[in-house]
Structure 1
Amino acid sequence: VLQREKERTGGMKGDEIFREEDSDGGRGNETQNVFSDLLYILLLILYNILLILVLISNLHRWKNYWIRGVLSLAMISGFFLIIYMGPIALILVVMSVQIKCFQEIITIGYRVYHSYDLPWFRTLSWYFLICVNYFFYGETVADYFGALVQREEPLQFLARYHRFISFALYLAGFCMFVLSLVKKHYRLQFYMFAWTHVTLLIVVTQSHLVIQNLFEGMIWFIVPISIVICNDIMAYLFGFFFGRTPLIKLSPKKTWEGFIGGFFATVVFGFILAYLLSQFQCFVCPVGFNSESNSFTVECEPSDIFVMQEYTLPTVLQNTLTWKTVNLYPFAIHSIFLSSFGSLIGPFGGFFASGFKRAFKIKDFANTIPGHGGIMDRFDCQYLMATFTHVYIASFVR
Structure 2
Amino acid sequence: MTELRHRGGITEPDLQQQQSEDKGSEAEDRMEKDGGVSDSDSKPDSGVPDVTAPSDDTPEVLNKALSGLSSRWKNWWVRGILTLAMISFFFFIIYLGPMVLMMIVLVVQIKCFHEIITIGYSVYHSYDLPWFRTLSWYFLLCVNYFFYGETVTDYFFTLVQREEPLRILSKYHRFISFALYLSGFCMFVLSLVKKHYRLQFYMFGWTHVTLLIVVTQSHLIIHNLFEGMIWFIVPISCVICNDIMAYMFGFFFGRTPLIKLSPKKTWEGFIGGFFSTIVFGILLSYVMAGYRYFVCPVEFNNDSNSFTVDCKPSELFQLQDYILPTVLQSVTGWSTVRLYPFQIHSIALSSFASIMGPFGGFFASGFKRAFKIKDFANTIPGHGGIMDRFDCQYLMATFVNVYIASFIRGPNPTKVIQQLLALRPDQQLYIYNSLKAHLTERGLLGALEEAA
> 1:280: how far off?
0.2
Q: How does 1:144-163 map to 2 (within 5 A)?
A: 144-163=155-174
> Counterpart of 2:449?
none
Q: Which amino acid aligns with 1:109?
A: G
> Counterpart of 2:311?
300
> 1:88: how far off?
0.7
Q: Which amino acid aligns with 1:271?
A: I
Answering whether residue 92 of structure 2 is matched by residue 88 of structure 1, we say: no
> Counterpart of 2:259?
248
> Counterpart of 1:352?
363
> Counterpart of 2:389?
378
Instruction: Provide the secondary structure at the position in 1 that maps to 2:402.
Output: helix
- Shifted more, 314-323 versus 173-182: the winner is 314-323
> 1:169: how far off?
0.1
Q: Which amino acid aligns with 1:244?
A: R
> Counterpart of 2:143?
132
> Counterpart of 1:164?
175
> Counterpart of 1:77?
88
Q: Which amino acid aligns with 1:141?
A: V
Q: Which amino acid aligns with 2:103?
A: L
Q: Which amino acid aligns with 1:373?
A: G
Give the superposed CA RMSD: 1.2
Q: Give, in whole Å, the separation in 1 of the partners of 2:245 and 2:295.
A: 27
Q: Give, in whole Å, the separation in 1 of the partners of 2:233 and 2:97.
A: 12
Q: Which amino acid aligns with 1:368?
A: T
Gaps of 5+ in 1: 1-55
> 1:82: how far off?
0.1
Match of 2:77 among 66, 80, 89: 66
Q: How does 1:15-94 map to 2 (within 5 A)?
A: 59-94=70-105
> Counterpart of 2:250?
239
Show CA shifts across 1:219-266 (max 9, x none): 000000000000000000000000111110100100110000000001
Q: Give, in whole Å, the separation in 1 of the partners of 2:141 and 2:291.
A: 36
- Shifted more, 138-147 versus 109-118: the winner is 109-118
> Counterpart of 1:227?
238
Show CA shifts across 1:94-117 (max 9, x none): 000000000000000011222101
Match of 2:211 among 193, 197, 200: 200
Q: Which amino acid aligns with 1:343?
A: S
Show CA shifts across 1:293-321 (max 9, x none): 00000011111111111111111212222
Match of 2:276 among 265, 276, 279: 265
Q: How does 1:100-139 map to 2 (within 5 A)?
A: 100-139=111-150
Answering whether residue 353 of structure 2 is matched by residue 342 of structure 1, we say: yes
Answering whether residue 115 of structure 2 is matched by residue 98 of structure 1, we say: no
> 1:150: how far off?
1.1
Instruction: Provide the secondary structure at the position in 2 that maps to 1:182.
Output: coil
Q: Which amino acid aligns with 1:169?
A: L
> Counterpart of 2:293?
282
Q: Which amino acid aligns with 2:73?
A: W
Match of 1:214 among 225, 239, 243: 225
> 1:184: how far off?
1.1
> Counterpart of 2:398?
387
Show CA shifts across 1:327-374 (max 9, x none): 100001100010000001100000000000000110000000000000
Q: Which amino acid aligns with 1:127?
A: Y
Q: Which amino acid aligns with 1:164?
A: F
Q: Give, in whole Å, the separation in 1 of the partners of 2:111 and 2:333.
A: 53
Answering whether residue 407 of structure 2 is matched by residue 396 of structure 1, we say: yes
Show CA shifts across 1:133-164 (max 9, x none): 00000000000001110111100000000000
Instruction: Provide the secondary structure at the position in 1 that maps to 2:70.
Output: helix
> 1:60: how far off?
2.2
> Counterpart of 1:369?
380
> Counterpart of 1:291?
302
Gaps of 5+ in 2: 1-66, 410-452
With structure 2 as the length reference, what TM-score do the two structures score?
0.75
Q: Which amino acid aligns with 1:126?
A: W
Q: Give, in whole Å, the separation in 1 of the partners of 2:329 and 2:281.
A: 24
- How many residue pairs get matched? 344
Identity rate, percent: 79
> 1:58: how far off?
5.9
Q: Give, in whole Å, the separation in 2 of the partners of 1:179 and 1:132.
A: 21
Answering whether residue 309 of structure 2 is matched by residue 332 of structure 1, we say: no
With structure 1 as the length reference, what TM-score do the two structures score?
0.85
Instruction: Provide the secondary structure at the position in 1 that maps to 2:337.
Output: strand
> Counterpart of 1:185?
196
Q: Give, in whole Å, the separation in 2 of the partners of 1:235 and 1:57.
A: 26
Q: Give, in whole Å, the separation in 2 of the partners of 1:367 and 1:325.
A: 50
Structure 1 segments, 4+ long, off by >3 Å, are none
Q: Which amino acid aligns with 1:132?
A: V
Q: Give, in whole Å, the separation in 1 of the partners of 2:211 and 2:167.
A: 27
Structure with the larger helix share: 1
